Structure 1
C-alpha cells in the first residue's frame, strides 16, 4: 500500500483574469475551487495509474468537508484525521504572472496528532509513505522525522518532498526517491551550476548521502534520473504550460506508483516525467487520458557518466 500524507491541505481557489490591478476592482474571467495539497495531488495521480493508496492528513470545518467530499467523488480512498479547527483556503491568481496567497493552516492538538498516528499503526515492509508539503504551524518541527522513525521500524519505504535542512536530516534514512529541481539542488549545496555535468555531480552526491534514487526536474530543460548504476536524461516534451501547480507532485506520483508495480527505476522515471508534464499541460491534476497522450513523447537516454 502507498500512503500519502497531506498535513496542511487546502481549498485552492483558482482565479484567472487578463491582468490584475492592485487597489481596484478586478473582474474575474474564470474561477475554480479545487482540493489542494501536495500529498493529495500524489494520490490523484496514483489513482490515475490504478495504484491502490490511502490519503492521510488533517481536515476540519466546512472547508475540510468540501475537500473530503470532492476527493471521494474522484474515487480517492480518504482516511483523514478530523480536527476541530478549519482547513485553510489558498488563493491562486493567474494574471500576467502567477501569484499565490496561502493560508498558514489550522491549530492541531496533541490528541489529534495521536489519532493520526493510528493510521500508520499497521505498516509493512511492502508499504511506501509519501510525505509532501509544509507543516501546519502548530505541528512540531520533528513531525516528519517522527513518521520516518515509524516507517523504518516497520521496514517500509518513504518519500519526502522537502528541501534544505529537513531533507538533509532524512537522507541517512534512505528515502526511496528525492526530487529536487536544479535550483533547489544548487541551493542545497550552496553552489551554482554551469553545466549539466555539474547538476549530475550534485545529484550523485545526494545519492551517496543516502537517497536510493534522485530525480532532478529542470523545467523546459527536461529531467534527470540518477541511480547507483547509471544516469538517465529525458528532454521535456513539447506542450503549452497551463498550470505548474502540482506538476512536481505528479512526477513523484508517477515514479512511486510505477515503481511499486515494476521496481524498474527507468520505467518509473518515464511515468514520472509523463505525469508531471501532463499536469503542467492541464488546468488541474492530470487525467489518465492526458498521461497516456504524453507517454509516447518521453524519450529517455542513458548518459555516459
Structure 2
C-alpha cells in the first residue's frame, strides 16, 4: 500500500482570464475547484495509473468538509485528521498570460493532532511506501518529516519526500528512499544556483551524502535527472508540447516513479515514465489520464548518462 501525507492540503480554485490587470475588474473564462495539496495529487495520479493509495493529513472547518466531499467523488481512500479549529486553506491559481498563485497559510496543527496522524501511519507494513509532500503548516516543527520517516522505518516502510527548504534539509537525516526537488529547490538545498545537468547531478550527490538514497530532479522543459542509489546519473529530455499547467507536474512524476517501481521497470524506463507523467500533467489543465502518459512515454528517448563530481 502507498500512504500519502499532505500536512497542509488545500482547495485549489483555478480560474482562466484573458488578462490579469491588478486594480481592475477581470472576468474569467472558466473556473474549476479541485482537492489539492502535493500528497493528494500523488494519490489522484496513482489512481489514474492504476495503483491504490490512502491519503491522510489534516483538515479543518467547512472548507475541509468540502475538500472531503470532492476527494470522495474521485474515489480516493482517505483518512484525514480533523482539526478542532481553523479552516483548510484555499489556493487561488489565476491563469492568464502566465500563472499567478495566491496560496493560503492553512490552519495550525497541534501535538494532539500530530499524534492522531502517527496512529494512522501505524498501519504501515514492510514494503509499503510513505509519500511526504508539501509545505509544513503552522504549529509543526520543521523536522516533522524526519520524525515521520523514522516512524515509517520502524514499520519497514520506504519513504518519498517532496518538500523544500529546512523541511527538506532535516528530512535527509532520515535516509528517505527518494527525494524529488525541482531545480530551484535543489539549488537552495546546496546553497548555489544550478544551471546545467552536470551541476544538478553534483548537487544531487550532495543530497545522497546527506542521507537521501535516490534523487529525482524535475527540470521543467529540460526534462528530469535521476541519481539512483546504486548507479550513475541519468537525464531524460522532455517531449515537445505546449505547457498549460505547472501545478501537479512534480506530483505526477512521484506517482509515476512509484508505479514504475511497482511494475519492476528499469532505472532508465522509470525515469522515462516519470518524465512522461510530469509532461502530460504540464500539457493539460489538471492531472492527466493514463493514456496520455503512455503516449508520451513512447516518445521519450533513452536517458543519457551525466558526468558529475561525487
TM-score (norm 2): 0.92
For residues 99 and 180 of structure 2, what CA distance do their matches in structure 1 show? 23
For residues 162 and 21 of structure 2, what CA distance do their matches in structure 1 show? 34
For residues 109 and 193 of structure 1, what CA distance do their matches in structure 2 show? 37
For residues 207 and 141 of structure 1, what CA distance do their matches in structure 2 show? 20
Cα gap change, 1:178 to 1:23, in 2 (>3 Å) = same
Instruction: Indicate the SS of the match to 1:55.
Output: strand
1:280-295 → structure 2 map (5 Å cutoff) = 280-295=282-297
Superposed CA RMSD? 1.8
1:89 and 1:103 in contact (8 A); partners too: yes
List gaps (5 residues or longer) in structure 1.
Answer: none
Counterpart residue number, 1:11: 11
Q: Deviations over 1:117-174 (max 9, x none)?
A: 2111132221111011112212233322221121122221111112233222222322
Counterpart residue number, 2:24: 24
For residues 170 and 202 of structure 2, what CA distance do their matches in structure 1 show? 20
For residues 142 and 20 of structure 1, what CA distance do their matches in structure 2 show? 38
Q: Deviations over 1:199-221 (max 9, x none)?
A: 22222232233222111221111
Counterpart residue number, 1:87: 88
Counterpart residue number, 2:103: 102
For residues 171 and 8 of structure 1, what CA distance do their matches in structure 2 show? 20
Instruction: Indicate the SS of the match to 2:181.
Output: coil
Deviation at 1:197, TM superposition (A): 2.2
Counterpart residue number, 1:42: 42
For residues 58 and 144 of structure 2, what CA distance do their matches in structure 1 show? 13
Cα gap change, 1:81 to 1:18, in 2 (>3 Å) = same
For residues 260 and 201 of structure 1, what CA distance do their matches in structure 2 show? 28
Counterpart residue number, 2:258: 256
Deviation at 1:187, TM superposition (A): 2.4
Counterpart residue number, 1:123: 124
List gaps (5 residues or longer) in structure 2.
Answer: none
For residues 199 and 67 of structure 2, what CA distance do their matches in structure 1 show? 42
Instruction: Indicate the SS of the match to 2:231.
Output: coil
For residues 114 and 231 of structure 2, what CA distance do their matches in structure 1 show? 40
